Chains A and B, each alone.
Chain A
Amino acid sequence: MKGKKLSILSLLAVSAMILSSCSSSDDASGVKIEVPDIPMHEEMGDFEGELNIVNWAGFVDPKWTDKFEADTGCKVKPRVAGTSDEMVTLMRTGQYDIVSASGDAALRLIVGGDVQPLNVDLIPNFGDEIATGMRNNIYDTVNGKPYGVPIGRGANLLQYNDDVTKGAPASWDVVWETNSPYKGKITAYDAPIYIADAAVYLMYHKPELGIKNPYALDKTQLDAAIALLKQQNTIVGEYWSDAVAQITSFVGGNTVVGTSWEILRKFAAKPNIKTTLPKEGSTGWYDSWLVSSKTKNVNCAYAWMDYTSTASVNGAIAVNFGMAPANIAYCSSSPTAQAHCDEFAAEDEEFFKKIWPWTTPIETCVDGRKDVKCTSFQEWTNAWLTVKG
């Protein structure tokens, strides 16, 4: 009897929540995305004693977890993932509490109901000091509800061997067009999300396709991007997903131009290996903490997000991984911090305005178009595998 009463009560509660969510209005971008309704954490309770994290290598380190564990008693158990897709798979097992997801994983997790909306009142450090370009982005803020706490970001830049190119290429055409002087010595990123890079190039050079957002491609636009990628396949030397392979390829001379990250250029540690942002702009990865909808350690997760959003800890993660920190208050904390921020353009919103943050493509067009269905990530995945033939 008791159980039945409870279930009726919870049914009422759920339907009330569904009603309230239906009435919520569109957010600033004007895009309404259907997401499973998951309640958010209302108030902080006792710490559960452990926190299972799925993270990029370098995001979780004893240098800052020791203090967190001592302060909260939450034992940190990190699990390093190599790709966004691996992160999504791991989070869907329900065994992890929190993930450092890039935008191309984040929206997939949100739409799939794998992560919960966040109560930002419980994360005091998530405040004005977060870089403006990292706030309210479609990949982690859906229908006006925040799902992610920003960690840091980086751009996918054009890396080149200056000894060969004699100066920075002004355009991405050196990696896309068949008349590229570096034919056979080009590297491309090996993941379906790289289709967006083709779309960014098409936005600039083929405006008649009408691409407004590289993550909102209808069928014709996706076909055009795939055709460009297939054209690139004939001039590509290598595809990279492994950072070490990419670095050795540049250092060893097999690759002259190709997509890269600022941190990989640093690891290559050769003065003739440089990066540039060509005129077309580029894509980039924006990472945030997302909390599992099945977590049993929600208080530890909130404490972790608050702790890692402090300027010093957020800066330490950014330096350790090699990216622009989300909390730009870190930059003014010391001369070395400022040097790091300058190197990774942390405070340069003009620079990041030319960068399209990785976002999972979904059927709802994230550019706001309502008259057409956009291609989902599944279609991108299938299309990507046909590129390499």
Chain B
Amino acid sequence: MITTSGLTKVYRSRGREVTALDGVDLHVREGEVYGVIGQSGAGKSSLIRCVNLLERPTSGTVTVDGVDLTALAGRGQRAGKELRRARSRIGMVFQHFNLLSSRTVQDNVELPLEILGISGRERSRKALELLDLVGLTDKAKSYPAQLSGGQKQRVGIARALAGDPKVLLSDEATSALDPETTRSILTLLRDLNQQLGLTVLLITHEMDVVKTVCDSAALMERGQIVESGTVGELLATPGSELAAALFPVSGEASGDDRTVVDLTFHGETTTEPVISQLSRTYNIDISILGAAMDTVGGRQVGRMRIELPGRFEENVVPIGFLREQGLQVDVADVAGRADLSSGEPQLVKEGVAK
């Protein structure tokens, strides 16, 4: 639905060059919620603003719903008619809502419809319908200043949907909201994604956002996409930073003659009660040092760090059993633990033996 290839953005100011985007290839499938996460300055904002060409990329192409926007843009700085028409089919939600304070809630939602040249009666019908969708029917005549942050963002979302877009871009839409409101906004985005088949590209610096709503995610660092894939794929990637950040586990072995194992749950088999099966089959005591589990798309995914009695050599068979269950198993290198002041035990990359 959204494809960028070789997207590069260089800012020039007073002879200095700053590369905000460095050859970004992004592919967002139709109907998915795609999260781009990264620290501030990583280039996320430039990326999302390049998708509807609010920011002109220095090089590379952007294709949304089969239309090459970069080709429509032309060379001039001003947006031509074609590009503006394409933009009206891409909704955008902003961190600071960007509602017009001089207009009522309803008039704000009607604004994109005015731009599309839709008649007055049709506009107000559509606006009220959208306000109903986001649960703000009773606020139609209020001014944005009278609303809470979460309500303002709901208006922002309603406004973004006015042009019946297939794609919604969310530029840190929840970053100015408290955790509870964030959750309700994310739920709304998820519902819209499912009800309307809306493709959502969101950027955020909060891992929780990705965890709550995203089907796929990408990690950005210094203008480049470092990792990307569906949440399942990321979890299956040994050493994935995103997976580790999404499902952080910690905890250290309680003694020298213990084996610490990191288990990653993803895919179909994760509904099996593997830990208790392991315990019963081999009659061993298992302590759970840490776990981060979540249900994404009806499936349990996550990681768990467990401790088995005995050294690694004694635990080859139980570890083999875990692998047979379809889990990804990484054995923590407990021998070198004393050297690791950071407290994060290094993983012996064993790969998945299948």
Pairing of A with B: no
Footprint of B on A, CB under 8 Å? none
